[in-house]
Structure 1
Amino acid sequence: MKLSNIKEIYAGAIELIKDAEFDRPYLVGKPYNKDFRLISFISDPKYMNAFLEYDIDGLICTKAVYEEIKDQYNGGLLIAENPKTAFFEAHNHIAKQSKNNQKTNIDETAYVDERAIIASNNVSIGKHTVICANVVIKEGVKIGDHCVIREGCVIGTPAFYYYGEGKERKLVESTGSVIIGSNVELHANVVVEKGVMFGNTYIGDNTKVDHSSVIGHDTQIQKGCTIAAITVAAGGTKIDKNTFVGVGVSIAPNVSIGSSAKLSAGAIVTKDVKAGERVSGNFAIPHNQFIQHIKNISGGGVL
Structure 2
Amino acid sequence: MANFPTIDSELLRTFVAIADQGGFTRAAEVLNRTQSAVSMQMKRLEEDVLQRALFLKEGRQLGLTAEGQLLLGYARRILKLQSEVMSSLREPHMVGSVRVGTPDDYVMRFMPSILARFAQTYPMVQVELHCEPSFHLLQRKDLDLTIVTREPGKEIGQLLRQEQIVWAQAAGFDLNEQSSLPLAMFNAECFCRDWACNALDTMGRDYRVAYTSPSLSAIMAVVSAGLAITAQLQSLIPADMRILGVDDGLPSMPSASIVLLRNAQTRSPVSECLADYIADGFRL
The TM-score bracket by the shorter chain reads: under 0.3
Which protein, 1 or 2, shows the higher relative CO under an 8 Å CA cutoff with sep ≥ 6? 2
The two structures have a TM-score, normalised by structure 2, of 0.26
The two structures have a TM-score, normalised by structure 1, of 0.25
Higher helix share: 2
Higher strand share: 1
